[in-house]
Amino acid sequence: MRRLVTRLLSEAGFRVSAARDGREMWEVIGTAPPDAVLLDVMLPGTSGLDLLRRLRERSCVPVLMLTARGEEMDRVLGLELGADDYVAKPFAPRELVARVRALLRRAGTPAGDGDLASRSRRLAFAGWVLDTARRELTAPDGAAVDLSGAEYDLLLAFLEHPQRVLTREQLLEVAKRRVGVDPFDRTVDVQVSRLRRKIEPDEGSPAIIKTVRGAGYLFVPDVGRA
């Protein structure tokens, strides 16, 4: 189930970290605070409901519970403990992806000191730093760089999916705001070109966003937490 869900969400354009049990979950969260958590009720060791209870004591990160079909009490208890939504197994792949997207749209960017999902929201790449809490981009020399709303959304999409080819359709889907055009419209290319001019100011500088002919765009640098 874990491998299935990981592959399904990865193919849908999400960056996924998997954990086999509660111990691994806390390790993953401590290393890379997530934007959302999919939590199965049936886990080895500590149950998903117990993990949800502990998670809610320290975080408001959105949580989608996976429950066995017909286990109404698990769903009710999960919602009472603070789960944001649930999906009953077996589930349709499209439904799971749609529910994850809806969960992220409803949640927006979590805020609050000490929140697991809001810590380390400064993303670093090639000397640049994007502060997602303030929506601010800082150049390697420390200068602030202004970004339009569409440029910010595209950059964030690239940073959340580094070293992966993103099609125009995926760029429209994963960006938090919608550019509002057909995926085959050249507007996406124009926005990428504008973003390139800001983060690749010198012609001789290494490429940060690479065009993959016939496929889309690839964000080249490694991305880490600043």
Query: What's the confidence (pLDDT) of residue 113?
Result: 37
Average pLDDT, the chain: 80
Tell me how far apart the alpha carbons of residues 103 and 56 are, in angstroms, rounded to a whole number: 16
Residue indicated by tokens 């601010």: 136
Checking if the pLDDT of 180 tops 70, the result is no
Q: Which of 96-100, 106-110, 157-161 has the lowest mean pLDDT?
A: 106-110
According to DSSP, residue 18 is labeled -
Query: What's the confidence (pLDDT) of residue 67?
Result: 83
pLDDT greater at residue 155 or residue 121: 155
The CATH-assigned architecture of domain 122-225 is Orthogonal Bundle (1.10)
Question: How does pLDDT run across 186-207, given as a tens digit for each residue?
Answer: 667 888 888 999 998 777 777 8
Query: What's the confidence (pLDDT) of residue 205?
Result: 73
Checking if the pLDDT of 94 tops 70, the result is yes
Q: Of 105, 86, 106, nearest to 96 (Cα)?
A: 86
Q: 2-107 adopts what CATH topology?
A: Rossmann fold (3.40.50)
pLDDT greater at residue 123 or residue 74: 123
Query: What's the confidence (pLDDT) of residue 186?
Result: 62
Long-range contacts of 164-168 (CB under 8 A, 24+ apart): 164/218, 164/219, 165/212, 165/215, 165/216, 165/217, 165/218, 166/13, 166/216, 166/217, 166/218, 166/219, 167/215, 167/216, 168/216
Token pair for 39: 């939590």
Q: What average pLDDT does the segment 146-165 reach? A: 85
Token pair for 34: 């997530």
| Within this chain, domains 2-107 and 122-225 share the same CATH topology | no
Checking if the pLDDT of 109 tops 50, the result is no
Where do the structural domains in the chain lie, given as residue ranges? 2-107, 122-225
Q: What is the DSSP string of 124-139?
A: EETTEEEETTTTEEE-
SS3 88: strand
Question: How does pLDDT run across 1-56, given as a tens digit for each residue?
Answer: 888 888 888 888 888 888 888 888 898 888 778 889 999 988 888 888 899 889 88
Whole-structure pTM value: 0.49
Query: What's the confidence (pLDDT) of residue 127?
Result: 93
Residue indicated by tokens 């950059």: 155
